[in-house]
Amino acid sequence: MSTALAVRLFLSSAGESNDAVIVGDINSADLTGESRRNILIPCGSSPRPASYPVTPGRYVVSAALPSGLVLTENAVAVEGQETPVDFVMTDSPYETHSWQYLMGNIEPDSVYHSPAEVPLAASVASRSIVAAAGPDDDAPGAAVDLTALATWIPDAAPTSCSFASMLALGRNGPEPQVARLIAHGEPRVLPTPAVRGEAVSPLYRFGPDGPVGAPGEPVGERQFLVVETAGSVRLVTLPLPWGTTEVEVLVNLRQSPTGSAVAVAVRDPAVGAGLAYMSQGALDMAARLFTDVEAMLYSKLQNPLAAAAGAYVLIGTDHSKGVTYWDPWLDRLADSFPRISDGAILRAVRLLRRGSPDRARARDGLIEAFDRGIPFYTLGLAWLVDGLSAFPDDPECVRRLDEARRLSWLADMREPFLILDLRQGSTR
């Protein structure tokens, strides 16, 4: 048998699959062994370890969590043996929340259930959804209603997804239910998930047919979740459908470890963590998980949202000049799904970044992307703003840039999918 380190990470489980893959490193501690960068670490309740051949010696193995936290374990590789290196993250506050815990969206059990108060962050952007919604003159310790109303929009009206419509929602103040202004049909209020009596961090799950365990109306091409609590309103983009994979929405009514009051995660075993890396700007790490972008873009366009994610990572890490073999795939993504503005954004930004002499085509692509409506991905909104900024003398681009930039001020830029805070007046 060769000398190797067998690496894996354990998560708690509520009797369901919670498999994932994250990125890590193997570094020689005595400077005599072989270091390995960007290894893949299987995660789950009983994951099969990934074996990495090394030379005998002492090593420090690190696991880079999507939250930015890095775990480390020491290991001694013995000649002719496979040495186990087990990371343990089984201290999620609830087994149902283990995926969110891995993503860094909720605290460990010892912190979450501690009687000690969590200090309130000074930054408005990092304050809890309830604290941010409260009047500035509220007395410390004043009672706050820790409940949330979650309304599912199974099919948004196409006109409601425009930048102008979204900005209008943010200006309208405490108007009627936001969901009714967006939905094509009838929105549905969801019951609070039963999580052992805990309602402070409700977790909602969605599958191809809508809420897990309670599918309802036929779903459309664009779905949202509206989360309302204590005067605060978040409009949450649901990245659906994502094949047969479930999507989780965590509503954190207490102080969030990331600062995001609402977090969206796709429970995709292969690339779910990659989406979180992408939102943190760690595109090189995300690229280690999006290894099959060719298949996503060319042969598997039945999941265009996954293809778009792969394209964001590809464009963000491959700075090739001139036309590449994968540029036509971006055309296919952009042309095949007109209601997904991300495809048009990706194609236009690629034209700008590769130094194409045809700037008019890039300009027209950015205008087309804007006119399709808001993107699914937060990174798409950032790239759209950046792209439109490249045409400061074009009145059509300037007008659209103004709206896109103002919408970006309402977006939670820490999240992979677009989440808009439509009621920020009380926090300013």
pLDDT digits (tens, 9 = 90+) for 296-355: 776 657 889 999 999 999 999 988 888 888 888 899 999 999 999 999 999 999 999 988
Which residues are bridge partners to 41 per DSSP? 22
Per-residue pLDDT band for 145 (boundaries 50, 70, 90) equals low
What pLDDT was estimated at residue 129? 59
Query: Taking CA 114 as the corner, what is the angle to CA 113 and CA 117, rounded to the nearest 5 degrees?
Result: 115
Q: How would you write 185-247 as a 3-class SS string?
A: CCCEEECCCCCCCCCCCCEEEEECCEECCCCCCCCCCCEEEEEEECCEEEEEEECCCCCCCCE
What pLDDT was estimated at residue 214? 76
Average pLDDT estimate for 144-162: 85
Nearest Cα neighbor of 232 from 427, 68, 4 is 427
HSE-CB for 160 with a 13 A CA cutoff: 19
Neighbours of 332 (CB within 10 A): 16
Strand order in the sheet with 223-229: 188-190, 149-153, 223-229, 232-238, 419-421
* 67-71, 128-132, 381-385: least confidently modelled range: 128-132
From residue 306, alpha-carbon distances to 223, 245, 274, 302, 370 in Å are: 16, 11, 11, 9, 21
d(CA 143, CA 122): 20
d(CA 223, CA 208): 11
Domains in the chain: boundaries: 4-89, 122-136+143-267+421-427, 272-391
What pLDDT was estimated at residue 130? 55
d(CA 262, CA 420): 10
Question: Roughly how many angstroms between the first and final C-alpha of the chain, as a whole number?
Answer: 63
d(CA 311, CA 398): 26
Checking if the pLDDT of 198 tops 80, the result is no
Checking if the pLDDT of 365 tops 50, the result is yes
Cis amide linkage into residue 158, ω under 30° from 0: no
Query: Taking CA 70 as the corner, what is the angle to CA 258 and CA 237, rounded to the nearest 5 degrees?
Result: 35
What pLDDT was estimated at residue 261? 87
CATH for the stretch 4-89: 2.60.40.180
Structure tokens at 139: 């007395």
Per-residue pLDDT band for 137 (boundaries 50, 70, 90) equals very low
